[in-house]
Chain A
Amino acid sequence: MQITGMNWGAKLLKYVGFPTATVLGPEASKEEIQALIDRFGGVLIKPIFKGGIGKKGKAGLIGRATDVVTALKEKERLYFAEHRHGNQYAKSEGVTFESFVRAEHEIYFSLTDSTLFRAPTVTITHHGGMDIEELSPDQIAVVPFDALTGFKGFIVSNALMKMGAPGEIISPLVQHLPKLWDLFHHYGMTTLELNPIRMSSEGGRLTPIACDFKCAFDTDDPNWHRLDLPDDLDQSSLSKFETEVNQLRTYQGQSDVFVINERGTITAMTFGGGANALVTELLGDAATISSDFGGNPPYQKMLDISRITYQYWLKQSNVLFIIGGKANNTDIYETFRAMADALRAYFSTHGPTPLFVVIGRGGPNLVRGLGYMQDTLDALGLPYRVFGYDSAMSEVVNYAQAADEWMSKGGRAEVARKLGIHA
């Protein structure tokens, strides 16, 4: 779960009393926009993207206006704006109107967990207004700190002092930035980035004003649910299938899925994070999904996972591919029994579908599990090969790909004929 932009950022920052630009949502009336312009001299119009996509400014997706007519024109331009950055794509769902914050100083600030220090770490620079990657190392402070005592004002003060930051900005930042630890640590975040923070002098005293916001939440931390965020805030990137499987996320057993290609022809039920990485890489776009169902899921959970996966992907698949290494603890009998039962149930409710089944697995209760699957596949009349863990996993992937190729070049029709159905 990631959030970008001030639409929700301002609301979250309010929890800890961190000052923000004044933000109006897409429903703002002309009068409200005019009032904002009158008070602050202008507004920024920014598209609202779900998820964690960044670099809006560089893509020309931030509008500026000092009158209502321009503001509304920008609203029209950006309301459904599309944005691509790296692998991410997002389509705007409205705009925000954010007050101008006149300032001499811009600050970059982020809190995250550093894998170098293995500690929570603050990154701060007063050389704001540009990409953090473009600064030299002595212009940025990257300071790990003690998670037990938290993020303290002296860390800010030391860092800014060592970088030679202007004295007048240190005190207000020391006063306000530590508040963000509360939001970061106690609401289950893994990243919190404010860029820029503009040092407003309104009211005669410098005050840091958050002008953009980005955060990522830890899916495994229940604390962020306390924020009562709407369910669909980051759902744009989750397909229906992923949402349905995600609901099965529990302590015992993984249920991670990611749709790779909606028109893929190999559906891989993968066990283990390693197998997930390897198999998905080798299958490429032939895969419908990337999955990790390891972690010894109990029968019931595996049955539900299989039921959902089959329901979404089996019809279009040439190959049902069940693959994992030599399991340490996952009970092969229980997991295979569940997958086999779900397959049988699928055939009985949706009718048979032409499939080639390829399996590679090792682990406790292996032969019983493979045997159960064998009996099921025989009963369903599906062609298959089952490999033990002494066959290289990558070779088994190659075999699955060869099966897919054969199926797409006439094999599917042959299997269908055997099953007495159309391909």
Chain B
Amino acid sequence: MQRQLSISELNKGSNFVHAKGEVAFPYYMGIRSLADIATRDDRVCVLNITGGESSTVTPISHAYSGGNIVCGTMPGRSGTVLNTPIGAIPVYHNILEAMEAGHRFNVAVVYVPPSGVRDSVIEAVRVNPELKKVVILTEKVPVSHSRVIRQYCQQRGVDLFGANCLGIADAHHKVRIGGALGGTNPEESLVPGSIAIFSNSGNFTTTIATYLLTAGWGSTVSVSSGKDIYIHFAAPEFVYALHHDDRSKGAVMYIEPGGYYEKDLVIQKPVVACVVGRWKAKLTRACGHAGAIAGSGDNALSKEEWFMEKFGVKGIFTPETPICSARGAVVTNIAHIPQAMTAVMMMNGIKSDFEPRGNLALKPWFGNNHGLCLPPELDMPIVEAIAPYNEQIALLKRQVGISFPRQSMKDTSGASRMDSATQVSQIHGISILDAATRSFEENLVLSLIREYPDANGRGMVNVILNGYVNQSGSIGLAAADAAREAHSSPNVVLSAALALVGPKEVESAKKAVQIFVDLFAHAGLEDPAQVDFDCTAQLEQLTSNASMRDTLVVMEKPSKRSRALMAALEERGSQSVFLELLRLLAKKSSAAISEHAIVAAIACHLAWKPLMHKRLSVNTILNLPWHLRIFSTLVGVSVSAERQPDKKVFCGKDVSELMESWSFSETAFMALMDHRPDSNELFAFSVLLGLIITNGPGTISAQGAKGAVSADGPEVPGRVQVNKGYIGFLTHTGYAHGGNGFEAIQFLLECFRDGGLTDPGNKSHGLDLEALAVAKAKEYKSYKVRAKSAGELDYAKLPCINHPVFKGKDVNYDPREVFVGELFAQRGEYNVFQEFYHHLVKALFKVGVSTNVYCVNVDAVIAVILLKMLWKPFRSGQISEQSMEAAAFTTFLFGRMIGSAAEIDDHTNRGRNMDTRTAASLCGYAG
């Protein structure tokens, strides 16, 4: 007759079905000894092997473990491989395919995203009857999935590790399975010794191993348990296997609050238990580890007490109060583990594994007081870092500028981004709304230097950009004019000229930049505006090296441009160490400063601080003269040859006057409007250009620029043709992208053509805008009805109203339009076209075209600003509708040139060769 179960027996889990394992457990546990946890015989299949984390970690694990990974899976990637330092690992669609290919393995390592973990584990266990261990690295696996995973593995006799762990490692076997214990250099932390490590924290598993070295303790096995609610290989399993591992003389257990895993442990070897997280008793939800949230009985204090009772100690071990027994010690600070371990082991007569390696005292590797008088406890001197970091730091100090890691930059940018929620783009972290309050030349500098120039820098950049704006007699201008004659669009016109601004044009300036960088990179020059910087050493170097000297100065008569540039810099009071050095060199060598050296000096001046602070690469500063030349050229060739009849005159103005007193914004305005702007016009023009700078890396113009760079192969950055990058941008603009701003102008012209409007900036214009808007709305409504009844679904839409994001409210606003509106309102400026647009959206609602009041979008802002500028010359017949269209398009090109410059430079610095291509498998066929 069957024996009757008592309630307490029932409570031990009699309804629970599991495979037969170690008999000490009321559930399945198949690991007898820690020595069996990660062995040289284990063969591994990694699920999601080519995913982000695995593709970095797996090759290191594979090489460290002597090639224990036989295969990996990744749906859709069958036939590919994951390369590792000791050979490639084949990748299959799924486990069945891998097994059919003949692979045999007993361990599955799971890197699958959380929602797929449960199914992946079931697949691995069901398809491979030889599977004995599963290590789950994935974080945020739902508890409901963990329940099922565990039960399934229990029934099938499979040991689970994790989830949310960093795997397991055995320093003696030199094997790590799953995860990144020991980081990129496992040997550095996983030094063979006699201590087993069990840790709820993945990071601390490695950190504790490293700390133990300082007391001469190495490790046997490191188990990163994870700290989800379900810890599958937990403290009871670890302690049981510890007892059966002869190599492990003791252990460290790092434990956090939450769960009763440690309560009933009976530990037979010396253990240092580190319990951290008393403060977590205050938590009402998990912060950090998902399972580290405690009830009343499993908080950190309770756990400290559990261990103290096991060890027979009455307090926490600290260096000041070294309370411990031969059974163990409890610490609450991981830094006390090494000392506690030594103390406990001494009581057992066990000596450390080797001589202590290093110590845990404070050792600042970097620091700077910035001239502050710090108290002695804070004013710690910088010490040399341990090897190999000391060599890396020395190298870093020698390195000039930043060296970006290369990656695929397709649809990715390190220069621009668009916030999809606000639709406001940023360039180098600056919102285009803020950029719109800066000048054209400031934004051009920002695009490459990542910061705005100060007044001194602005002066210099205006000299250099205006100094090269005149294109008279150049083949480029001839090409541009020819393209204009052929009725090519403005972007094609500018492209024609740019093809001629090849690398040879700036070769000497680039060489001069390199000389400046070599001379000053390690000279301690922080601010190039400090003209009292002692350049004696640099001057001597130059005078003793003819090749360097002859790049910067010329023995013959200086060129006219060189003289004009220097005169303009003098006039503006420009201060720069680089210019000063050129003056000294010219004087000492009785020579004249070369034109290219001036360009280089200005480029270096602008870029020096960010270069020294490693925000820029050397490549960027070397290409800077090229970009500057292109900026001048693009503005220069937008003006026909007849308006720049010789080298002295540009749009009727003396070029030296431009260099000495004009901003480049003014020159660009004049190139389009043929007069010097007043302050209101200049402000409006700058706002306009600022708003156009970028819409993120996905826009067609950015894609064109990036594609052009990618095709040249940025991995050898010297090969990238910067001018071709701009041609890429220009060819990726057109009547639909860039030229489309004119649609709104045409619409407004149509509305205002016959109204007798003379000054769009005058509020007393005498027009009834509301009536005009209602009439236009009615007209549009009847057009729409007609078009719809005729079955014409792609009927014309009114330009610049409504927006896919800023919609759905009773009255809608595009915050960018509001921002710009306020900007002008603050200056007391009025724009009749903008006001009309606001009447129009209300009228459309009123007459029933729209169900709510649409927003006036940011494109309207661009149109109304432009039209306001062009209205008077248009009304007076000075410019035709066609030239108005060209001016609108060219304005767009000037603004977008800023963003494109940033993309070209960014892609050159970070991109891979041909990284913008689309894989054939992702391409469609519509034939």
Q: Give A residues with C-beta under 8 Å from B.
A: 2, 51-52, 86-88, 113, 115-120, 137-138, 141-148, 155, 158-159, 162-163, 185-186, 188, 190, 218-223, 237, 251-252, 254, 256-258, 271-278, 280-282, 284, 290-292, 294-296, 324-329, 333, 341, 344-345, 348, 356, 362-364, 366-368, 370-372, 374-379, 381-396, 399, 402-403, 406, 411, 414-415, 418
Contact B16 A141, beta carbon cutoff 8 Å: no
Contact A383 B370, beta carbon cutoff 8 Å: yes
A residues in contact with B296, CB < 8 Å:
86
Q: In this complex, which of A88, A118, A383 has the most chain B Cβ atoms within 10 angstroms of its Cβ?
A: A118
Does B282 sit at the interface, judged by CB under 8 A?
yes
B residues in contact with A148, CB < 8 Å:
148, 151-152, 155
Does B785 sit at the interface, judged by CB under 8 A?
no
Name the CB-closest residue of A to B290.
Answer: A220
* Cβ contact of A370, chosen from B227, B366, B374, B430, cutoff 8 A: B366
Name the CB-closest residue of B to A330.
Answer: B203
B residues in contact with A381, CB < 8 Å:
370
Q: Mark B7-42, 1 if CB is under 8 A from A, else 0.
A: 110110101110000000011000000000000000
Contact B203 A275, beta carbon cutoff 8 Å: yes
Does B53 sit at the interface, judged by CB under 8 A?
yes
Contact A324 B287, beta carbon cutoff 8 Å: no
Contact A141 B7, beta carbon cutoff 8 Å: yes
Name the CB-closest residue of B to A87.
Answer: B282
Contact B202 A281, beta carbon cutoff 8 Å: no
A residues in contact with B313, CB < 8 Å:
none
Contact B230 A118, beta carbon cutoff 8 Å: yes
* Cβ contact of A393, chosen from B139, B335, B385, cutoff 8 A: B335
Q: In this complex, which of B6, B288, B334, B429 has the most chain A Cβ atoms within 10 angstroms of its Cβ?
A: B288
A residues in contact with B49, CB < 8 Å:
none
User: How far is the CB of A305 from the nearest CB of chain B, in Å?
Assistant: 14
User: How far is the CB of B234 from the nearest CB of chain A, in Å?
Assistant: 8
Does B206 sit at the interface, judged by CB under 8 A?
yes
Starting from the known contacts A186-B144, A386-B365, 17 additional A-B residue pairs (CB-CB under 8 Å) come to A117-B27, A118-B27, A143-B11, A190-B229, A221-B143, A273-B292, A275-B201, A277-B289, A281-B278, A281-B279, A333-B405, A341-B429, A371-B614, A375-B612, A382-B370, A387-B364, A388-B389
State in angstroms the CA–CA spacing of A113 and B5 once bound together: 23
Mostly, the A contact residues are mixed
30 A-B pairs in the complex with CB atoms less than 8 angstroms apart: A137-B7, A138-B8, A143-B13, A155-B15, A159-B10, A188-B142, A237-B284, A251-B140, A256-B288, A257-B287, A275-B203, A277-B201, A277-B277, A278-B334, A281-B278, A281-B332, A324-B203, A328-B206, A370-B365, A371-B366, A376-B613, A378-B368, A386-B366, A390-B210, A390-B360, A390-B363, A390-B386, A399-B362, A415-B372, A418-B372
* Cβ contact of B114, chosen from A117, A137, A220, cutoff 8 A: A220
Does B439 sit at the interface, judged by CB under 8 A?
no
A residues in contact with B7, CB < 8 Å:
137-138, 141, 159, 162-163
Does B511 sit at the interface, judged by CB under 8 A?
no
Does B286 sit at the interface, judged by CB under 8 A?
yes
Contact A256 B372, beta carbon cutoff 8 Å: no
Contact B287 A276, beta carbon cutoff 8 Å: yes
Contact A371 B8, beta carbon cutoff 8 Å: no
Does B207 sit at the interface, judged by CB under 8 A?
yes
- The number of chain B residues with a CB under 8 A from chain A is 125
State in angstroms the CA–CA spacing of A371 and B16 once bound together: 55
A residues in contact with B150, CB < 8 Å:
118-119, 147
A residues in contact with B278, CB < 8 Å:
281
B residues in contact with A295, CB < 8 Å:
139
Does B166 sit at the interface, judged by CB under 8 A?
yes
Contact B147 A143, beta carbon cutoff 8 Å: no
* Cβ contact of A325, chosen from B206, B286, B360, cutoff 8 A: B206
State in angstroms the CA–CA spacing of A388 and B393 once bound together: 12
B residues in contact with A393, CB < 8 Å:
207, 334-335
State in angstroms the CA–CA spacing of A392 and B334 once bound together: 8
Name the CB-closest residue of B to A184.
Answer: B144
Q: In this complex, which of A120, A252, A276, A326 has the most chain B Cβ atoms within 10 angstroms of its Cβ?
A: A326
Does B819 sit at the interface, judged by CB under 8 A?
no
Does B254 sit at the interface, judged by CB under 8 A?
yes
Q: In this complex, which of B184, B336, B366, B385 has the most chain A Cβ atoms within 10 angstroms of its Cβ?
A: B366
Q: Which residues 324-369 in B have Cβ within 8 Å of A in the complex?
A: 332-336, 358-369
State in angstroms the CA–CA spacing of A379 and B283 once bound together: 38
Name the CB-closest residue of A to B365.
Answer: A388
State in angstroms the CA–CA spacing of A116 and B262 once bound together: 9
Does B276 sit at the interface, judged by CB under 8 A?
yes
State in angstroms the CA–CA spacing of A395 and B334 once bound together: 11
Q: Which residues 573-623 in B have Cβ within 8 Å of A in the complex?
A: 609, 612-615
Contact B183 A329, beta carbon cutoff 8 Å: yes
State in angstroms the CA–CA spacing of A363 and B207 once bound together: 10
Contact A392 B366, beta carbon cutoff 8 Å: no
* Cβ contact of A218, chosen from B142, B363, B373, cutoff 8 A: B142
Which of B174-182, B696-704, B708-716 contacts its partner? B174-182
User: How far is the CB of A342 from the nearest CB of chain B, in Å?
Assistant: 9
B residues in contact with A294, CB < 8 Å:
203
State in angstroms the CA–CA spacing of A374 and B615 once bound together: 11
State in angstroms the CA–CA spacing of A366 and B389 once bound together: 8
